[in-house]
Structure 1
Amino acid sequence: MEELDAPLAPLTTLRLGGPARRLVTAHTDDEVIAAVRAADAAGEPLLVLGGGSNLVIGDAGFPGTALRIATTGFALDGTALELAAGEVWADAVARTIEAGLAGVEFLAGIPGSAGATPVQNVGAYGQEVAQTITEVVAYDRRADEVVTLPNAACAFSYRHSRFKADPERYVVLRVRFALEDAAGRSTPVRYAEVAKHFGVATDERVDLREAHAAVLGLRAGKGMVLDPADHDTWSAGSFFTNPVLDPEQYAAFLALATERELTAPAYPAPDGHTKTSAAWLIDRAGFAKGYGSGPATLSGKHTLALTNRGAATTEDLLALAREIRDGVRAAFGVELVNEPVMVGVSL
């Protein structure tokens, strides 16, 4: 299906952004590939849309082809799962719980499509898709062929991947996972908030269905489960990633925090780096839940979510994001980086 001058805002969780010159909706892998080839042959820009949960689209819209991937497919063979890129991620997770399989239960309620999960290496509550993805099937625009990339070739890292690093090359078609039959139990709990909820130590397992329900409850309490009636959920989820600091950066940050008699969160990260909390930084820099008096504000439930209160423009949202980024830099010397993909705009 093809539309001209098509509104994009309704296709995003922020409900922001101008129209696309052309919108194509693809229901099969062949339709996806045909649309990509047509755009590439015409030399026009291509924007791939899934659930629109991780996008900030400029008010001017998109001057090329927006490709909405609406493919379907949920195939379970024992503990091996294959998802079509257009499958609704939250629904797919719920089906794995119904099947009694662990591996993605702590990623419950995350909006968006399955095809977006490897791009961002989606993660929450101590779990990442990189831990269970075995292969990603994608259309390689450079080679003009369908390729299957094993986990090791995807270059997964914190909220990053090969697909995010080279966004003009790959269009994800299918994602394959290796789940676990743990006799109705979850994977080991890695996140302190979840462990506290269940009264267990980290690395312990809990009931799989209860883990799924608990995460949905925790996310809903932070406005991170979509609800059209609740403007706190009109967001792109966490707007900033948690900063990962090298030893020199961390020492400088720690000195500023100590000077203000603050104890900053710190978590070990690879290569001697230290991860700290973006939410903590935002709050301690003076931006509390609900901050803002305009049409774009921080969520009243979570400082990491920038929200559209119903009448915002993308520029309203970006003005707030820049104010927060600059305020955190001034207070702590740490540069916040946006997590959503920017289309036609930048911070």
Structure 2
Amino acid sequence: MAAPTASDARPRPDRRGRPRTLEPVQELHDAPLAPLTTFRLGGPAARLVTATTDAEVIQAIRDADVTATPLLIIGGGSNLVISDKGFPGTALRIATKGFELDGTKLELAAGEVWTDAVERTVEAGLAGIECLAGIPGCAGATPIQNVGAYGQDVSSTITEVVAYDTIDHRVVTLTNEQCDFSYRHSLFKRLPDSYVVLRVRFQLEDAGGLSTPIAYAETARALGVEVGDRVPLATLRETVLKLRAGKGMVLDPEDHDTWSAGSFFTNPILTNEEFSAFHARVAERLGPDVKAPAFPVGDGFTKTSAAWLIDKAGFTKGYGSGPARISTKHTLALTNRGEATTEDLLALAREVVAGVRDAFGITLVNEPVTVGVSL
């Protein structure tokens, strides 16, 4: 794998050759973090810094490095589970802005609201991320998780990611290949303390106002078309938003089913041997005629449905009697009903993990990032 290209991370001089001085970033102490997350959970940060430019982001990272202060990066907060005790260091909220469209090439600043960016590309008649409408969070998080839904993943359109290398202290540009994308995974997730995403670049498609070919059966059914067909971009976006809203996956402050991180568990990917053992457990528990969802994902591997596993293990929609419960709309979402703590949420998550393991021999893996806690 080729090394990422690097650029100078220092502020550029002004027209007279003098170093530019950075404006002081916004800073708070003992700052609540729960309002910055979609779960609305977690204790305060010792210090909260809000950065609105790449230079401010880099400055905050370097300050934390020099003082050996723990650093937590926050974008849209849609994928974070933070301890009730909070975070004993600096929380860096990335609020950078930048939407640059050059033909079919798109560059987004890390702090751009993802749903807004998708809407603008659809309005511009460009295909490639339209199925990712309604996903909460910021653009900078999309390559970390290799965000995907309804048959699209960002890895299929990302060309480059500009990031700050916290080890070598420089800005680098990584190609799609160097990002090492896989299912809900990437180089950035594998090495979470090594890179901070600053900008994401995409190559979209001009298909005359039509979407990319529909790849997901549920979407095709909702549209009344066949898998592989193309439909008007706006129609597909609206359909995806309706599908997501029906599952409580579009943020609504009045709907506690959306006080979540979306899908809490990733879909398990099993080897052929593991899938055979799983198939036998399904037959034993549910009967020989029951077939578990199975999606081939490469030679020797099969993906199955975490939502199906949770439901068949007895954790149905709305499960739970406490302040943290499974969504009433989708079994894959764990939710805060308004008065939950992070420990309430984790207790429910652990119960689900243990129940699925006992029933089917599969250990579910959480998708959200945990801060100061673990399952």
Q: TM over 0.5: same fold?
A: yes
1-structure distance, mates of 2:77, 2:164: 20
- 1:325 corresponds to: 353
- 1:224 corresponds to: 249
Q: Deviations over 1:222-249 (max 9, x none)?
A: 0000000000000011000000001111
SS at match of 2:291: coil
Q: Deviations over 1:312-334 (max 9, x none)?
A: 00000000000000000000001
Q: Deviations over 1:280-303 (max 9, x none)?
A: 000000000000010000000000
Offset of residue 44 of structure 1? 1.3
Aligned-residue CA RMSD (Å): 0.6
2-structure distance, mates of 1:206, 1:335: 38
2-structure distance, mates of 1:213, 1:119: 26
Same amino acid, percent of matched pairs: 72
TM-score, normalised via structure 1 length: 0.99
1:316 aligns with 2:361: no
Q: Of 70, 74, 85, which residue of structure 2 is paired with 1:49? A: 74
2-structure distance, mates of 1:108, 1:102: 12
Q: Unpaired runs of 5+ in structure 2?
A: 1-25
1:5 aligns with 2:30: yes
Following TM superposition, where does structure 1 have runs of at least 4 consecutive aligned residues deviating by more than 3 angstroms?
Answer: none
Q: Of 243, 247, 251, which residue of structure 1 is paired with 2:276? A: 251
1:276 aligns with 2:304: yes
- 1:97 corresponds to: 122
Aligned pairs for 1:252-267 (under 5 A) are 252-259=277-284, 260-261=286-287, 262-267=290-295
1-structure distance, mates of 2:362, 2:312: 12
2-structure distance, mates of 1:88, 1:271: 37
1:237 aligns with 2:265: no
Q: Of 164, 178, 182, which residue of structure 2 is paired with 1:157? A: 182
Q: Deviations over 1:46-84 (max 9, x none)?
A: 100000000000101001110000000000000000000
Moved more, 136-145 or 251-260: 251-260
- 2:366 corresponds to: 338
2-structure distance, mates of 1:146, 1:270: 34
SS at match of 2:299: helix
Q: Unpaired runs of 5+ in structure 1?
A: none
Offset of residue 202 of structure 1? 1.1
Q: Amino acid of the residue matched to residue 370 of structure 2?
A: M
TM-score, normalised via structure 2 length: 0.92
Q: Of 31, 40, 60, which residue of structure 2 is paired with 1:15? A: 40
- 1:130 corresponds to: 155
Q: Amino acid of the residue matched to residue 172 of structure 1?
A: V
2-structure distance, mates of 1:76, 1:70: 19
Q: Amino acid of the residue matched to residue 152 of structure 1?
A: E
Offset of residue 270 of structure 1? 2.2
Quick check: which has more Rg, 1 or 2? Answer: 2
